[in-house]
Structure 1
Amino acid sequence: MKSDFIQLLKETSDIDRHSRWSEIKRKIDSDSRYKAVDSSSRREDWFKDYVRKLEDKRDKDKDKDKDKERDREKDRDKDRERDEDSDDERKEREKQEKQERIEASIRKRTEEVERSLSSSLRERDKEREQHKKDEAVQLFNALLVDLVRNSEASWRDTRKQLRKDHRWELAELLDREEKEKIFEEHIESLFKRNKEMFHKLLDETNISLVAGWKEVKKVIKEDPRYSKFSSSDRKREKEFSDYMHEKYVQAKADFRELLKETKLITYKSKKLIEESDSHLKDIEKILENDKRYLVLDCAPEERAKILLAYVEDLHRRGVPPPPTASEPSRRSTK
């Protein structure tokens, strides 16, 4: 993905070391290689790295030109050496070469210092930009908390309202896609919180496992958590149905756990029940003391079905192994 994005930059001919990302991205944002990178900050970082490499290449090319010029100068010096015979001229030439070496050394050291300083400044600028970006995110989140409290709000409609607040401009470092993403996360958080409050309202209401939406709606519709969850009755009913389904499934799971805890029910129970109803009545009498049994009073047939299925399963397994069956035999040596 990064390689494709860099290739896209290479194909954009008017990019040089003075190019600005805000101008270039408008020229390439319709390309699929641009869209494939789902983070705007990553695109900008890769662009800046690419431009820095252009600068480095330019500096290297300059160094090569200087080296070539220096080589040509040496060749000219050699030609002059062949033409110059006097000792005074040779000494002057040597003095000049020494000075050139000193100047070249100074230039090299200066370039090294400048490169090091430039790298440090770039890193500092990068950190400063990130800090500004984080501040912009915090400002925009604060704006959403203050103005967007409806979990069913759309980005298209809400954006007009947000633009009127001065904090919209303070968050200008965020592009449109970043703002929309933060907005969607805020909406998701609002919906989750409203859903939790709606479920809490249902928990606090004494609801039978087979209760219908219409009868429950009459009981809870005056509570603010009812209307805050959604303005759509269809959505409220669907959420209620999902809630009741989960509650019913959990009630049956809890009842099965109760059966496992009831020691009166064994692999012999099926035969005892077939011989007489008294054993089944004894089992039910014990189970009636537990809430996990009583909560299924609204679905007696399903509860009986689960009980008999459990009895049948124990019968099929037969005599359970003794508790120490999995341990090595320990016989007395006396």
Structure 2
Amino acid sequence: MDANEQETDREIVPERLFQSDSNTCASVCGAEQTIRKDFLDMLRERHDIERHTRWYDIKKKFESDPRYRIVDSLYREEYFEDYLHIMKEEKRKERELREQRERERHRERKADRRDRDKDKEKDKDKEKSRKDRGRSRSRDKDRERKSSKEKEKPKEEKGKSEKIKKRETPEEGEHREESDKEERAGSVDSEVARQRENEAEQKQKEREKKLRAEQSIREREKEVQRTLAGHLRDRDKEREHHMREECIGHFTALLTDLVRTPDFTWKEVKRQLRKDHRWELIETLDREDRERKFNEHIDNLMKKKRERFREMLDEISTLQLTSTWKEIRKLIKEDPRYLKYNSDKGEREFRDYIKDKTMTAKTSLRELLQECKFITHKSSDLIKENPNHLKEIQDILKNDKRYLVLDHMEDERNTIVLGFLEELNKRGPPPPPTASESTRRNK
């Protein structure tokens, strides 16, 4: 192999290496772009992501999604920020497009209004010209009639004056000429005064019209301001309500994560909560709301704790209403549901449990008496006549567990039975089915 062939081989090898590296790089970049696109699609499927959503608040919702797990943890938050930026740009473009459409609609409405105004002006001009033509024709006719009268008037006056001159003396003629001049001057003055009065009245009408228009504009502006102020108040209230509900949600999540036992006070818990980074999200929440939500959380924990304790007692098959705390404590001392109580609180809960079970047993006994068909309104009178009848009733009731469970309080049990019999006796015989049906219908 000569020198030229060696140089050719040396040039070909780097080119092949460069091509393989570029192909590998292109495939890797394509895979990364695909992963990023899938991750962004996953985020887009969540409709509760907003512009101010934080990554650590939302990331737990995606842990089960394979598109979330395939992305390296270093790039997840970066992709999330990219998505927020994309969402912000999309909303900005939508807002600009919406505003542009609104401006176009406004221009179209303005152009339509301008065209309508032009059409109205044209119609007014046509109507005005038609009226002017009519008035001009009527004025021409009036003018012709006046001119004809004026032409005839000098002749009549001349004839009258000649007749008067023939009858009157020179002194009377001079006096008549002066009176004619005064009459003509008075008529001219009255005409001028009438014109001035008409002009003043016209100006007053225009002034009142202008004042009414200005008053209407001011009233409309006040109405618009009131409406706008109401909308702004409603929007502020809605925003405050939304922020408050969001703060309450953050605070509830914080309590759920950090407060899991009801043995703490608000003062103790508050120090622990302030150390959590989520505390700054609830600083705007009122102190009364914080304490109220804390007390509700503690009450829920106490309720759950009591329910689990009572479930534990229900599981004891040997427990009876006569059982003592000392006997039961030996059976449950290793149970974790008991270990959450100290001895005094556990005994108090046990006594409350026995008290509730006793009340339930008494209620069950009354239900048993109502179910017994052999007990009627006559049973009380039969017992007074024959005391052994009560023993017969008791012997029948002993076949039911609801009667036997109260053996330890026999006197109170007998009081319940006798009270039930007395109540039946006072009610008297039950009404027939048809009578009860008609009574119910009348009601």
1:234 aligns with 2:344: yes
- Describe the superposition over 1:192-230 as per-residue Cα deviations: whole angstroms up to 9, x where unpaired: 2222222222222231111111111221232222233xx
Relative to structure 1, the CA distance from residue 214 to residue 317 in structure 2 (aligned partners, 3 Å threshold; closer, same or farther) is: same
Whether contact under 8 Å (2:406, 2:413) holds in the other structure is no
Q: 1:1-334, aligned counterparts within 5 Å?
A: 108=218, 113=224, 116-206=227-317, 207-228=319-340, 231-265=341-375, 266-267=379-380, 268-274=382-388, 280=391, 282-297=392-407, 299=408, 301-302=410-411, 305-306=414-415, 309-310=418-419, 313=422, 317=425, 320-321=428-429, 323-324=431-432, 327=435
Structure 2: tracts of 5 or more residues without a match = 1-206, 437-443
Give me the whole-angstrom Cα distance separating, in 2, the residues matched to 1:321 and 1:113. Answer: 75
Deviation at 1:320, TM superposition (A): 4.5
- Describe the superposition over 1:20-52 as per-residue Cα deviations: whole angstroms up to 9, x where unpaired: xxxxxxxxxxxxxxxxxxxxxxxxxxxxxxxxx
Query: Residue 240 of structure 1 aligns to which amino acid in structure 2?
Result: F
Relative to structure 1, the CA distance from residue 270 to residue 219 in structure 2 (aligned partners, 3 Å threshold; closer, same or farther) is: farther
Structure number, greater radius of gyration: 2
Secondary structure in 2 matching 1:289: coil
Relative to structure 1, the CA distance from residue 226 to residue 112 in structure 2 (aligned partners, 3 Å threshold; closer, same or farther) is: same
Structure 1: tracts of 5 or more residues without a match = 1-96, 329-334
- Describe the superposition over 1:46-103 as per-residue Cα deviations: whole angstroms up to 9, x where unpaired: xxxxxxxxxxxxxxxxxxxxxxxxxxxxxxxxxxxxxxxxxxxxxxxxxxx9xx98x9
The alignment's TM-score, normalised by the length of structure 1, stands at 0.56
Q: In the comparison of the two structures, how many residue pairs are matched?
A: 226
Q: Per chain length, whose mean CA-contact separation is higher, i.e. which structure has more relative contact order (CA < 8 Å, sep 6+)?
A: 1
Deviation at 1:156, TM superposition (A): 0.3
- Describe the superposition over 1:89-144 as per-residue Cα deviations: whole angstroms up to 9, x where unpaired: xxxxxxxx9xx98x978984667655544442333222112111110011101111
Whether contact under 8 Å (1:144, 1:183) holds in the other structure is yes
Give me the whole-angstrom Cα distance separating, in 2, the residues matched to 1:106 and 1:323. Answer: 77
The alignment's TM-score, normalised by the length of structure 2, stands at 0.43
Percent of aligned positions with the same letter in both sequences?
Answer: 44
Deviation at 1:176, TM superposition (A): 2.0
Relative to structure 1, the CA distance from residue 271 to residue 300 in structure 2 (aligned partners, 3 Å threshold; closer, same or farther) is: farther
Relative to structure 1, the CA distance from residue 307 to residue 263 in structure 2 (aligned partners, 3 Å threshold; closer, same or farther) is: farther
Whether contact under 8 Å (1:270, 1:311) holds in the other structure is no
Query: Residue 233 of structure 1 aligns to which amino acid in structure 2?
Result: S
Relative to structure 1, the CA distance from residue 311 to residue 242 in structure 2 (aligned partners, 3 Å threshold; closer, same or farther) is: closer
Secondary structure in 2 matching 1:205: coil
Relative to structure 1, the CA distance from residue 283 to residue 119 in structure 2 (aligned partners, 3 Å threshold; closer, same or farther) is: closer
Relative to structure 1, the CA distance from residue 203 to residue 168 in structure 2 (aligned partners, 3 Å threshold; closer, same or farther) is: same
Deviates more, 1:300-309 or 1:122-131: 300-309
Greater fraction of residues in helix: 2
Whether contact under 8 Å (1:259, 1:307) holds in the other structure is no
